Amino acid sequence: MPLVLVDTNILLRDVDTAHPMHQAVASAVETLRLRGDILCLVPQNIIEFRAVATRPLSVNGLEGVEKLIF
């Protein structure tokens, strides 16, 4: 089972259902999972994701996300 490092942009696009790349990212992630790949995160991914996701909705670029809980 290959290890696949998930980039922060993949995380952001996966949660933002209004983003034009959301469906492509969701399909790619599902394909990797079904193939048996192990999706990996590193602390930097989580830090970057949190930095974007906790900004006010008007400036974070996550149009399709109503609320993220941290």
Q: Is residue 50 part of a domain?
A: yes
Q: Is residue 66 part of a domain?
A: no
Q: Is residue 32 part of a domain?
A: yes
Q: Is residue 65 part of a domain?
A: no
Domains identified in the chain, total number: 1
Mapping DSSP onto H, E and C, the string for 24-65 reads: HHHHHHHHHHHHCCEEECCHHHHHHHHHHHCCCHHHHCCCCC
Q: What is the pLDDT of residues 22-43, one digit of tens each?
A: 999 999 999 999 999 999 999 9
In angstroms, rounded to a whole number, what is the distance separating the alpha carbons of residues 54 and 20?
21
Considering the entire predicted model, what is its pTM? Answer: 0.78
pLDDT of residue 54: 81
Token duo for residue 11: 């995380």
H-helix or E-strand spanning residue 13: helix 8-15
Q: What is the mean pLDDT of residues 8-30?
A: 93
Q: Is residue 68 part of a domain?
A: no
Q: What is the pLDDT of residues 42-70, one digit of tens each?
A: 999 999 998 888 877 777 767 666 655 55
36: containing domain: 3-60
Which of 17 and 55 is assigned the larger pLDDT? 17
